[in-house]
Structure 1
Amino acid sequence: MNDSAHILLLDPLHGGSHAAWSQGVQDGLTQQGHRVELKTFPANHWKWRMQGAAAIWAHELQDTPPPDVLLTTDMCDLAQLK
């Protein structure tokens, strides 16, 4: 039985503490045998990143199989990912 999960980790403001958190989560989950796909945007223009990043990712991800788990920082508008 394979308990490995495909985890999509979204970090729209990848810098400072957000980058440290994302990298720590990615490292920990990878060590547990999960496949973690980290998608990021640079840590600038935080208001735009908070409002627009999810809409861009929703477009990019529309033709890909859904992950087993979706994980994001608090800077991502989940309503835009639908």
Structure 2
Amino acid sequence: MRIWLRRRFERQARLMGAMMERIGIEPELAASRGRLYDAANRRCLWCAAHEACGKWIEQDHSAENGPSFCPNATFFEHTKQMHPKG
């Protein structure tokens, strides 16, 4: 695999994991959504907003939902509704 692509995979995987942690989604729950989770991973992989995403994740506040610029906002919202923390 080309190094730039491997680095992109690694960066986006870190961002998606951090995003789910930030908004309170267990990775196992997201993964249980099967093809929807696979599609979310692909959207994240090719998302151009990685800098804005990283900055949003670093902000010091609690978040109920992902940011509006995130192409996975709907996936995260629906996943969180399946099993809200509380």
TM range (shorter): 0.3 to 0.5
Q: Which is strand-richer, 1 or 2? A: 1
Normalising by structure 1, we get a TM-score of 0.32
Higher relative contact order, structure no. (Cα contacts within 8 Å, ≥ 6 residues apart): 1
Q: Which is helix-richer, 1 or 2? A: 2
